[in-house]
Structure 1
Amino acid sequence: MTMTDASQRPARETVKRVPQSLIALRNILTFLLKSPTSAFGLLVLAVLLSGAALAPLLATHDPYAQDLQSALQAPSMAHFFGTDELGRDIYSRILYGSRITLTFITLVSVIVGPIGLLVGTVAGYFGGRIDTVLMRITDIFLSFPSLILSLAFVAALGPSLNNAIIAISLTAWPPIARLARAETLTFRSADYIAAARLQGASSGRIIWRSIVPMCLPSVLIRLTLNMATVILTAAGLGFLGLGAQPPLPEWGAMIATGRRYMIDSWWTVTFPGLAILCVSLAFNLLGDGLRDALDPKQMNRR
């Protein structure tokens, strides 16, 4: 073999690896689209993203504009979802509220995923006292209902959108940590981990380069399923007045203000409630679809 062939081999191998990852992503997406439930989840999330991005174009009214003469009007062509007690257009407020929901989902995922993954992989890899301490802390967080614990954190930090995100993040990482630890325990005795140790790789490098990638699929599935709980908790905090503060169009807060008029003006709580229901259901269905798509048995069948 010539020097030219040897120098070109890494380049060819690198080129081959990129299409394989794209093919795997395409196969997963195809699998999700073939499932009616997963396709519904993707559709709802696509609507959520579109509504958040295009809210200024899709909204028919200013979501903060008050018109007391139009208060509590039923759904019509002028106001698709009716108006609230201050005459604000509910359809436009739900559109802008999707931005708040998307902010919750994105920031909580960014915070919870790395924390849970780090705690779980470190505890599972090192074991011993480190594992005991980290898992006992995790058990303490898991012993309280997430909404109750979030209420305690928000009460300590003060009611606001940012504090609600912090509170929810502090309560949402333990299930991710438990899952990552369980996955790490199955991988840490593998031959490739032992080979990495013999080659002198540090514990941090082994965790980052070998164990974390193996835990990512399961963590991603769990994180997706947890988003439904995150949305419900955020809506619960908003309903209690501890989340996003008025006049922000947060869906839970909209239900809280509309519940006083729900007997005669059903639309004030129905449409925000349907928005919460659809998005929460979409994440559950998408999580189930991802679990099936990333299942090795399912992959072999495809």
Structure 2
Amino acid sequence: MSSEPTAAPAPKQPFLTREARSPREAILQRLGIGALTFLGNRLAMVGLAIIVLLVVLAIFAPLIATHDPNLQNLRGARLPPSATNFFGTDEYGRDIFSRIVHGARITLYIVGLVTVTVGPIGLIVGAISGYFGGFVDTIVMRITDLFLAFPSLILTLAFVAVLGPGLEQAVLAIALTGWPAMARLARAETLTIRSTDYIAAAKLQGASSWHIIFHSVIPMCLPSVIVRLTLNMAGIILTAAGLGFLGLGAQPPTPEWGAMTSTGRAYMLDSWWMVTFPGLAIMIVSLAFNLFGDGLRDVLDPKSN
């Protein structure tokens, strides 16, 4: 009695460990798992809503503002909040609400320009330093330590003193003091990533060091750097406002929130609105970026559950 040959069982798919997955697959899986976590974080959603509102104010500032932000009316100077002037007027009769709305553009300009400057520089420098190690790592990290040895605000003031007051000079000074922290973070991530299995596989396939850095290492460092950049945005806003408060940032009559707070402090006893509303704008936006950054960390942090 003959029996039909049984079919061979299908081979099982190999289990891909976290180290064996490609960088793109790991990032996509992390994003998919963390998206629901972010949506369930109410504080993060509040921060995101405030940031979206800030962007809307910046884009449609001419339509939202009720007055010309630089139009002076000495007869209407230092008027309290009313139906005509929602946040009152300053010492030159300029509408504070309109100046705050237009100041959203200045804030986003500073945050955006510093972020797109600091992020790539710190990420590339840290990845190169961590991957090659040795002499390259020693030289790069000693330069980084030199920047980190000074308080960031003091070092920023020193750069502004050399470059001169102005909005662009303030942005450059903040960027020069912001990249070392990003480089340190990227280096720490790279030291872990360079020993993974897919990096070893890429080397066996003949991939060059630069190809591995830009196609395998940097994509894996990117989530942590994005989280750190988001959390640093609040610090960027506060630093820019501090420079404006000291007269080293945006110059009059630019409607910058820190400069508005500085000019209003001379009248804060009898014209409280001149300091209160620009200060609230700085506080609310800084808090929003912190809340958004905390929620984003839950999504992108490789050490989160």
For normalisation by structure 2, the TM-score amounts to: 0.88
In structure 1, what is the equivalent of residue 6 of structure 2? none
Q: In the TM superposition, what are the counterparts of 1:91-106 in structure 2 within 5 Å?
A: 91-106=97-112
In structure 2, what is the equivalent of residue 188 of structure 1? 194
| Separation of aligned partners in 1, 2:192 and 2:258 | 41
Matching of residue 259 in structure 1 with residue 265 in structure 2: yes
Shift of 1:26: 6.9
| Separation of aligned partners in 2, 1:22 and 1:183 | 18
Matching of residue 171 in structure 1 with residue 145 in structure 2: no
In structure 2, what is the equivalent of residue 116 of structure 1? 122
| Separation of aligned partners in 1, 2:45 and 2:120 | 28
- CA separation of 1:298 and 1:122: change in aligned 2, threshold 3 A: closer
Q: In the TM superposition, what are the counterparts of 1:275-294 in structure 2 within 5 Å?
A: 275-294=281-300
In structure 2, what is the equivalent of residue 160 of structure 1? 166
Which amino acid in the other structure matches residue 62 of structure 2?
P
| Separation of aligned partners in 1, 2:98 and 2:32 | 35
CA contact (8 A) 2:77 2:90 kept: yes
Shift of 1:29: 4.7
In structure 2, what is the equivalent of residue 79 of structure 1? 85
Partner deviation per Cα, 1:217-254 (whole Å, 9 max, x = no partner): 00000000011111100000101111111000000000
Partner deviation per Cα, 1:135-174 (whole Å, 9 max, x = no partner): 1111111111111111111111111111110000000111
Which amino acid in the other structure matches residue 279 of structure 1?
V
Shift of 1:197: 1.2
- TM-align CA RMSD: 1.9
In structure 2, what is the equivalent of residue 144 of structure 1? 150
For normalisation by structure 1, the TM-score amounts to: 0.89
Structure 2 spans left out of the alignment, 5+ residues: 1-23
Which amino acid in the other structure matches residue 260 of structure 1?
A
Shift of 1:277: 0.5
| Separation of aligned partners in 1, 2:102 and 2:190 | 41
Aligned length: 282
Matching of residue 38 in structure 1 with residue 49 in structure 2: no
Shift of 1:24: 6.9
Which amino acid in the other structure matches residue 280 of structure 1?
S
CA contact (8 A) 2:87 2:97 kept: yes
Matching of residue 226 in structure 1 with residue 232 in structure 2: yes
Shift of 1:294: 2.3
Equivalent of residue 63 in structure 1, options 47, 59, 69: 69
| Separation of aligned partners in 2, 1:159 and 1:239 | 12
Q: Secondary structure at the match of 1:63?
A: coil
In our comparison, the structure showing a higher alpha carbon Rg is: 2
Which of the two has greater helix per residue? 1
Equivalent of residue 272 in structure 1, options 259, 274, 278: 278
Structure 1 spans left out of the alignment, 5+ residues: 1-17
- CA separation of 1:291 and 1:68: change in aligned 2, threshold 3 A: same
Q: Quick check: 197-206 or 62-71, which moved more?
A: 197-206
In structure 2, what is the equivalent of residue 3 of structure 1? none
Shift of 1:297: 7.0
| Separation of aligned partners in 2, 1:181 and 1:243 | 32
| Separation of aligned partners in 2, 1:23 and 1:249 | 43
Shift of 1:31: 2.9
- CA separation of 1:210 and 1:110: change in aligned 2, threshold 3 A: same
Partner deviation per Cα, 1:120-147 (whole Å, 9 max, x = no partner): 1011001111111111111111111111
- CA separation of 1:261 and 1:123: change in aligned 2, threshold 3 A: same
Partner deviation per Cα, 1:167-212 (whole Å, 9 max, x = no partner): 0000011111111000000011111111111211111100000000
CA contact (8 A) 2:166 2:249 kept: yes
- CA separation of 1:298 and 1:142: change in aligned 2, threshold 3 A: closer
Q: Quick check: 286-295 or 275-284, which moved more?
A: 286-295
Identity %: 65
- CA separation of 1:296 and 1:177: change in aligned 2, threshold 3 A: closer
Shift of 1:33: 3.0
| Separation of aligned partners in 2, 1:22 and 1:83 | 50
Shift of 1:28: 4.5
Partner deviation per Cα, 1:70-94 (whole Å, 9 max, x = no partner): 1111111110011000000000000
Shift of 1:293: 1.7
